[in-house]
Structure 1
Amino acid sequence: MRDKTQYWTESLFDSVYALYETAREYQTAHISAQLAVDTVDFGRRRNHEGRIALEGRTNAYGRTLTREPHEKALSDLSSLYDRAEAEMHRRYEEAALLYASGAAWAIRSVQNGEQPPVVAFQTDDDGHAVQHLLDIPGLDTYVEGQALDAAYDVLVGCAGSSEYAEDLAGRDYVSEHEAGEMFRAIDASDGLAGAAYAYGLLAQRALNFVLIGPRRAWESELAAARATQSAQTSN
């Protein structure tokens, strides 16, 4: 069982790691949902053309209505899987953004001299966590600083495309040119979840870097306390 008296550096890292595990669960669920969609793709497989009769129901010519049950099953499953894939994508994106922004918040907090035991989020009117800012300044000496900056740029680009697509979609009138821009923005925004997850992974490693100082200070305090206790015991 995990020690409930963890030092703040460890409980903070565990908090970010829990956000990582959450995002990874939804990433896996989204991949599974995508695979399910592919299994009923009419472009990849043919349905069996055998038919069944539906007694008591007639077609436009007054004949007993018939149906291809396999085709209907594929059609129904396609609709079901499409909805599931869209929902898993939404949840994966939300979890990945919370993960990335939570790690960024933890780093900024440590840089500001704070000692948060866990990542804290504000909530919206429905009680859902609201993501933090994503930028992480002050890591010029960090060996993966350039990779982190590059991942941030990709993430910001995807987020901008998503906001632009939502803005265009919400307008009463969209010109043909704007419609083309909207669809391009939607395509670009599809990578938002993956970009947030990738940025979160780098930010999580960066958190370990900024925690080096506080961890060493804590170890020094423990060593000094043990030395004092040993001296008192020997006396």
Structure 2
Amino acid sequence: MIRLATTFLPRVSQGFPMTNRYQDFAKMIDHSLLQPTMTVDQLEAGISLALEYDVASVCIMPYYLKRCAERLAGSTVKASTTIGFPHGVQTTQVKQREAEQAISDGCEELDFVVNISKVLSGDWEFVSAEIEAVTKIAHDAGQAVKIIFENCYLDDAQKIRLCEICNDLNVDWVKTSTGFGTGGATLEDLKLMRTHANANVQVKAAGGIRDFEGLKAVRDLGVTRCGASRTKDILDACRTELGLSPIA
């Protein structure tokens, strides 16, 4: 199996307290609140759940980001949102403006969709320039960026080329999917991305991580983040396995 450097993925040790071991897994999860049919009440409940389970971040629809960031203030849960979602076909200028607005609204991590059409067309100069433009906005503000490939539409050579571009631009994460394409994260894609991304570039799985066994499996491949909507089920199972009391 491919392993990630321990700077990103500390091994779960029998010597650590159970609560620390729980956090190793909880801090892998970006709780996803991106379904366009979700009501405000559901978004508020989702933010509350993320706080209760102390996950890594809440990835929420852009229009509700500011409210989300206000609720997460003072916690260890970050506010995140999407840029160019879900198809990546907005103009670069629109994506830049989205990124600026997100940061103004309190975003700490930006999940950015590449222009899939340009990737499939082999216009790597355009793809690189656009990733660079949005990454610069995020990094200049001291925030992180995750680059979404949407692997279900790509061949391995295209995925590898995207990893190489992201290495050159020093992005924070490469990410498999939006969760809105024809497929989500696969173990094969995660292995490929971990192999071709530099050690300082982390890997995020999105789409298809539905239980604690799945979370452990991708962790073993070097994945440090997972987009998940079934956060409660995953982390309840985690707490049970670690012998921790359930979260009320």
- TM-score of the two chains, using structure 1 as the length reference: 0.25
| More RCO (CA 8 Å, sep 6+) | 1
More helix, by proportion: 1
Between structure 1 and structure 2, the one with the greater Rg is 1
